[in-house]
Amino acid sequence: MSLEIIHIENEWFKDESGRTVILRGVNLGGDCKVPYPDGGTENPTDFSTHREVSFVGRPFPMDEAEVHFSRLKAWGFNVLRLLLTWEAVEHKGPYTFDERFLEYYAGLCKMAGEYGMYVFVDFHQDAWSRMSGGDGAPGWLFEKIGLDYRAFGRADGAIVMQYVYDYNDPSPRQDAYPAMCWQSNCVYPVNGIMWSLFFAGKLITPDFLIKDEMSGREVNVQDYMQGHYLACQAKVAERIKGLSNVIGFDSLNEPSSGWIEIPMDYRHTKMRKNNPPRPGTAFSPIDALYVSHGHCLELPYNAFSLLRGGVVPVKTVAVNPDKISIWINGRCDPFIEAGAWELLDDGTYRILRNDFFKKANGKEIDFNRDCLLPFLHAVADNFRRFNPDWLLFAEKEAAEGMMRPGFPDNMPENSVNASHWYDGLTLMNKKFRKINIDIVSLQPAFGLKGIEKKYLRELGRIKKSSQTINHGCPTLIGEFGIPFDMDNGKAYSEYAEGDRTERPWQTHITALDLMYNALDRLLISSAHWNYTATNSNDLRTGDRFNQEDLSIYSPDQRDKPDDINSGGRAMAGWVRPYARCVQGSIIRMKFDRKKGVFLLEFLADPKICRPTEIFVPDLQFPNGYDIIIYGADVDIIREEEEGLVTMSANEANKVSVTIKKK
């Protein structure tokens, strides 16, 4: 299948022929966050080998790639958000790049094109790095800042599964490591320190300098960290610059603002407009910094309460009871050095500038304008040295993108709004219920119709915000999905007991159907989170990262080796018909899964020389289908092997296409 180069025209993706393109894809894959082969968080580690790890083999070894790409193609995906981490490229040390991994990653990009899939590169991170409870940055950076990663777990510097999880306990779910708790990490000491310096070091700690290994010059900590990130990005760009199916780069997955714009003494325990508290320990910046120096505090702990209308304090917890410092002996706290606060001789502290993270040089800091925007320009300028036509898939922190969608003025040209969207209640509680809540208005949603309307509102806000980016840009939801281990893995138990029907997956199918219905109605492109080739039904393991389990595929469901679909989870919810390329302007797209009816309306442009392509999966039309067309004169071709219906309009007119199952 030949792929035409993708470009942007206002809110649409277009190919070289002028067709309107809808990108429907998947994130590949969830285990790319951890080293290969045994770096998953289901295995204990002290991270002492962080310089010697390898990510060659994530998302899968090259000798297994053909079967995985064939499966993804059969499921109708036409784009991949292909993950890698900063650590995967530069884990060995500063400017020591893993050439084997770069060659491997470029090979994956090339092979994806051979299977008809576009690729955009995603440098992924969660909670900064593996050593701080997530993934992303290499471990040697902590020493550059003055932090001892070996102390993070014992000092409550970060929530790290490998430090709090009892691997000798057969129980997969443990109170010490609640489900999805790692997302609370952004307000913990390590993440607050690293992200604040990464994005705003020049503003708040102008005198914190680090010697750059390449130039030999002393540079600000912000320039040092971003410089290494951009160097890794450039290494990848150089390897794949000649691949026509590569359409661009993600800026950085869900970047955190750290403590920027937050008063030193502010604990987020109450709902602010479009800004609910996060579940978990409610650190203020000064709490986190004080704890980081080996002091214990009693702090509020937030949790979600449907009855109380959101996330609220439910108890207090003792933080760092063993009074362990995360700072390397002899190293200085850059925020003390910059005059933000001080430790007193009696072991207490004094805040010297409560607005330290809010003001710089006498001016209010606006994170999006003063920190994120310059970074987005630096990223775009960096990879466009290798291909000026590549698109920037711009991201904000996930909750920020959902609660306050949109980007600052003067974004880089050819930007895509690649914000993420999740059903927060379903994701965090690993349950899908017919009572839900709108994350912005806190308006309750009742029943499936009410939940679908909620999804439409939330996704609609994101799409509407794209209109403000460079006078209008496309929206591609970079991540969305559901946990498959809902209700303590009930579906897995039923599957293990021999139920091979759709019945164990009905809840998952329903939830995903509602999500894709909303995407269709809004005509939004998307990348489903995620496909993990090594996923396991084991509640301890999941996607091999912090007990996440959102993979649409698992080898534990692969009971028919000769069936390409075998291994797919709840496929009826997401293997759906959609218009991949439209010969003109798309007006409407809708699929009724229960009735088996797909509708596409578009304004045909016969000057466009290539046809409309509709993916029509056998899964939704097992006994075949009928095609009914109204409007312009249209020639139809069915390409059964590709699962495609193609049609060429011979006149400029509105076309209505209905595909009905027999």
Average pLDDT over residues 505-512: 98
Domain ranges of the chain: 21-258+364-488+513-573, 586-661
Res. 182 pLDDT band, cuts 50 70 90:
confident
Tell me: pLDDT of 641 over 80: no
Residue 137 is predicted with a pLDDT of 98
Contact by Cβ (8 Å): 635, 647: yes
Pairing of strands 20-21, 12-14: antiparallel
Residue 183 is predicted with a pLDDT of 79
Residue 181 is predicted with a pLDDT of 85
**CATH classification number, 21-258+364-488+513-573, choose in 3.40.50.2000, 3.30.70.380, 3.40.50.720, 3.20.20.80:** 3.20.20.80
Residue 20 is predicted with a pLDDT of 98
Tell me: pLDDT of 85 over 80: yes
Residue 346 is predicted with a pLDDT of 95
Tell me: pLDDT of 135 over 90: yes
Average pLDDT over residues 339-358: 97
Residue 303 is predicted with a pLDDT of 85
21-258+364-488+513-573 and 586-661 share one fold? no
Alpha-carbon 249 to chain mean position: 13
* Euclidean distance between CA atoms 524 and 476, whole angstroms: 6
Tell me: pLDDT of 271 over 80: no
Residue 590 is predicted with a pLDDT of 98
CATH fourth-level superfamily of 586-661: Golgi alpha-mannosidase II (2.60.40.1180)
Residue 270 is predicted with a pLDDT of 84
Count of residues making up the chain: 662
Tokens of 602: 């578009």
Tell me: pLDDT of 124 over 90: yes
Res. 472 pLDDT band, cuts 50 70 90:
very high
Pairing of strands 578-582, 209-211: unpaired
Res. 423 pLDDT band, cuts 50 70 90:
very high
Tell me: pLDDT of 282 over 90: yes
Q: What is the reported pTM? A: 0.97
Between 107-116, 181-190, 292-301, 514-523, the lowest mean confidence (pLDDT) is in 181-190
541 burial via Cβ count (<10 Å: 0-12, 13-18, 19+): buried
Res. 274 pLDDT band, cuts 50 70 90:
low
Residue 1 is predicted with a pLDDT of 54
Res. 439 pLDDT band, cuts 50 70 90:
confident
Tokens of 351: 């805040």
User: Where do the DSSP E strands lie in 510-559?
Assistant: 525-531
DSSP track, 8-25: EETTEEE-TT--EE--EE
Tell me: pLDDT of 499 over 80: yes
* Euclidean distance between CA atoms 56 and 627, whole angstroms: 46
Average pLDDT over residues 566-578: 98
**Alpha helices (H) in 250-393, listed in sequence order:** 285-292, 334-337, 373-383
Average pLDDT over residues 283-307: 93
Residue 273 is predicted with a pLDDT of 65
Tell me: pLDDT of 307 over 60: yes
The per-residue pLDDT for range 601-611, each reduced to its tens digit, is 999 999 999 99
Peptide bond into 37 cis (omega under 30): yes
In the three-class reduction of DSSP (H, G, I as helix; E, B as strand; rest coil), residue 391 is classed as: strand
Average pLDDT over residues 512-537: 98
Average pLDDT over residues 586-593: 98
Tell me: pLDDT of 109 over 60: yes
Res. 637 pLDDT band, cuts 50 70 90:
confident
* Euclidean distance between CA atoms 599 and 582, whole angstroms: 13
Calculate the average pLDDT of the chain: 95
Average pLDDT over residues 63-77: 98
C-alpha distances in angstroms, 302 versus 159, 271, 280, 290? 15, 11, 5, 20
Res. 179 pLDDT band, cuts 50 70 90:
confident
Kindly state the percentage of the chain with pLDDT values over 90: 90
Res. 569 pLDDT band, cuts 50 70 90:
very high
Q: Which residues sit opposite 248 in a β-bridge?
A: 120, 391
Task: Supply the DSSP symbol for 258.
Answer: T
Residue 393 is predicted with a pLDDT of 98
Tell me: pLDDT of 309 over 70: no
Task: Supply the DSSP symbol for 219.
Answer: E
Average pLDDT over residues 330-342: 97
Average pLDDT over residues 403-427: 95
The per-residue pLDDT for range 230-255, each reduced to its tens digit, is 999 999 999 999 999 999 999 999 99
Q: 433-455: b or e for each residue (b if 16 or more CB lie within 10 Å)?
A: eeebbbbbeeeebeeeebbbbbb
Tell me: pLDDT of 621 over 70: yes
Query: Look-up: residue for tokens 């090979």?
Result: 107
